[in-house]
Amino acid sequence: MATLSLAAILAEAAHRHRGRTGLVEGGLRLTFDELWHQARVQAAALTELGVAPGDRVALMAPNTAEFPRAYYAILAAGGVVVPVHLLLSAAEVEHVLRDSGATLLLCHPAQAGTGTAAAAAAGVRMLRLGGEFEERARAVRPLPSYVSRDADDPAVIFYTSGTTGVPKGAVLSHLNLVMNATVNAFDANDVRPDDTALGALPLFHAFGQTVSMNSTWRAGATLVLLPRFDARRAIEVMVAEHVNTFHGVPTMYDALVSAAQEATELPRLKLCISGGASLPAAVLERFEETFGAKIYEGYGLSETSPTAAVNQPAFGTRPGTIGHPLWGVEVEIARSDVERRVELLPSGELGEVVIRGHNLFSGYLGRPEATAEAMVDGWFRTGDLGTKDADGFLRIVDRKKDVIIRGGYNVYPREVEEVLVRHPGIARVAVVGLPDPRHGEEVCAVVVPAPGSAPDAAAIIAWSRQHLGRHKYPRRVEFIAELPLGPSMKVLKRELRDRYAG
């Protein structure tokens, strides 16, 4: 069996780019070799604590140097990283610890309250990063290198709830994650050692972890961490650190456009990647006009390492699409009404997005039935509806479970949102279906008003009626100060449906 470790990304960067700055966080600057030395010291401490190859170690930390240091320490010791979302409650963290079988929780002091309660309830040992764990690390000699693993061995377990149910652990192998970082850096894009990326996406999430951290370091480029995303602060940091690469979700791009109006200087960006949710065309246009940089929108899931497709310079870009599949990955459209087999559809037809390739996860931890439901005929069924045109460009229409059926007609929330966000009184909007005795479901727009405006619900409905088909325009408009966002910055539509269903 071939051996491979995700830890090689940092180890090789330290070997090939010795003395080059790999990590910046505030006033802290670490070269690749300094960071790799620190990770090997912590790996030795983990070994002393009894962490054996294959053991699962939970990691709960924000975008500070503690996260990548501990992340690569766990991998170097041969362990499996279980990243914990920082917005989870103690009970939810307890579920992750129990379900994953974690033997240890490494927790940043800022999350110590939640981590301590969850670890105690789960009967798992917890060590504070920057405290007891560092004291233990000072007493050991660093591991000479990383522990070798089989390429298909688990490297990271991402917990994902999908659209319903209890969060499930998606098991990603060393091969999955090394390949995804590699093709993101060198095939989808052309990342160079002299590039500098802003690490504003949460590193506990697959997008931030693979695209921001691992892909950047796979190319030997510098990562500047931003512990908490604030658009104004992000612009200041990008200018000060000469950042030329930004990875973000649509809400971040929208916030950057707003913050740019008050900025005295803007960064010179060459590569901007959007993912995590569909990017409204209006936001893309405003960002590219403001910053003079092109956005390459992509698509992926925790189960696909995460990147599956992205707009790429090699194929050209098309706004509103997710581009082409990554090198070595297949993304196709299948019949969505057939569950137990995958029947691929010809170009142009609407169906469920299905994926296969080196990026595909091993399965859901301890849930063979859920794995069998998602993995059909060697393809992963994403639950997303999309199309593929004659030129191979993929387009996501919506989540299969988010489609609104009003009076027998399908209404795709994303299509309605794309129109509504162009209304001058609307800053952000989420469209959901609510139960309706006459039509089955009714279209509801939940609106965040634009600053300084006070839009009227009846006026928005009248405006949308002029711009949308009769079955599509919202008959109900609700106003909200901020849309509820999950740990990965996606809008929590389930929460909106629950809130307004009455």
Residue 420 has a CB neighbour count (10 Å cut-off) of 25
CA 5 to chain centre: 22
Burial class (CB in 10 A: 0-12, 13-18, 19+), 322: buried
How far is it, in rounded angstroms, from Cα 207 to Cα 200?
11
pLDDT at 246 over 90: yes
Give rounded-to-5 percent helix, strand, coil for the chain: 35, 30, 40
Residue 229: band (very low, low, confident or very high) from pLDDT cuts 50, 70, 90: very high
Question: For 246, phi and psi rounded to 5 degrees?
Answer: -130, 130
Question: For 483, phi and psi rounded to 5 degrees?
Answer: -75, 140
Tell me the C-alpha to C-alpha distance, in Å, between residue 302 and each of 86, 318, 359, 394, 415. 17, 24, 10, 19, 24
Residue 487: band (very low, low, confident or very high) from pLDDT cuts 50, 70, 90: low
What's the whole-number mean pLDDT along residues 248-271?
95
* Choice between 486 and 210, residue whose per-residue pLDDT is larger: 210
Q: What is the structure's pLDDT at 433?
A: 94
Mean of per-residue pLDDT scores for the chain: 94
Cβ contacts of 146 within 8 Å, gap of 6 or more: 5, 7, 8, 11, 40, 43, 75, 76, 77, 78
Question: For 361, phi and psi rounded to 5 degrees?
Answer: -65, 165
Residue 163: band (very low, low, confident or very high) from pLDDT cuts 50, 70, 90: very low
- Which residues lie across from 447 on neighbouring strands? 429, 479
Residue 191: band (very low, low, confident or very high) from pLDDT cuts 50, 70, 90: very high
Q: What is the structure's pLDDT at 437?
A: 87
Tell me the C-alpha to C-alpha distance, in Å, between residue 227 and each of 102, 126, 224. 25, 22, 10
Q: Which of 28-42, 124-138, 170-184, 323-337 has the lowest mean pLDDT?
A: 124-138
How far is it, in rounded angstroms, from Cα 419 to Cα 282?
9
pLDDT at 164 over 90: no
What's the whole-number mean pLDDT along residues 260-267?
97
How far is it, in rounded angstroms, from Cα 403 to Cα 386?
12
Cβ contacts of 65 within 8 Å, gap of 6 or more: 23, 25, 28, 30, 35, 225
Domains of the chain in sequence order: 27-171 (3.40.50.980), 299-399 (2.30.38.10), 403-500 (3.30.300.30)
How far is it, in rounded angstroms, from Cα 259 to Cα 233?
9
Q: What is the structure's pLDDT at 161?
A: 66
CA 487 to chain centre: 9
Beta-strand pair 196-199/222-225: parallel
Q: What is the structure's pLDDT at 177?
A: 98
**Amino acid letter, residue 475:** R
| Residue 426 near residue 460, CB atoms below 8 Å | yes
Compute the CA torsion angle 134, 139, 142, 147 (nearest 10 deg): -80
pLDDT at 440 over 90: no
What are the E-state strand segments in 8-94?
Answer: 21-25, 28-31, 56-60, 80-83
| Residue 385 near residue 353, CB atoms below 8 Å | yes
How far is it, in rounded angstroms, from Cα 276 to Cα 19?
34
Cα 475–459–473 angle (5° rounding)? 30
* Choice between 492 and 334, residue whose per-residue pLDDT is larger: 334
Q: What is the structure's pLDDT at 98?
A: 98
Residue 165: band (very low, low, confident or very high) from pLDDT cuts 50, 70, 90: low
Residue 275 has a CB neighbour count (10 Å cut-off) of 26
How far is it, in rounded angstroms, from Cα 17 to Cα 332?
39
How far is it, in rounded angstroms, from Cα 296 to Cα 319?
8
Residue 403: band (very low, low, confident or very high) from pLDDT cuts 50, 70, 90: confident
What's the whole-number mean pLDDT along residues 49-75?
98
Q: What is the structure's pLDDT at 438?
A: 85
What's the whole-number mean pLDDT along residues 310-332?
96
Q: Which of 121-130, 175-184, 407-416, 482-491 has the lowest mean pLDDT?
A: 482-491
Share of the chain above pLDDT 90, in %: 86
Q: What is the structure's pLDDT at 488?
A: 65
Residue 409: band (very low, low, confident or very high) from pLDDT cuts 50, 70, 90: confident
Instruction: Write the pLDDT tens digit of every residue in 449-481.
Output: 999 998 999 999 999 999 998 889 999 999 999
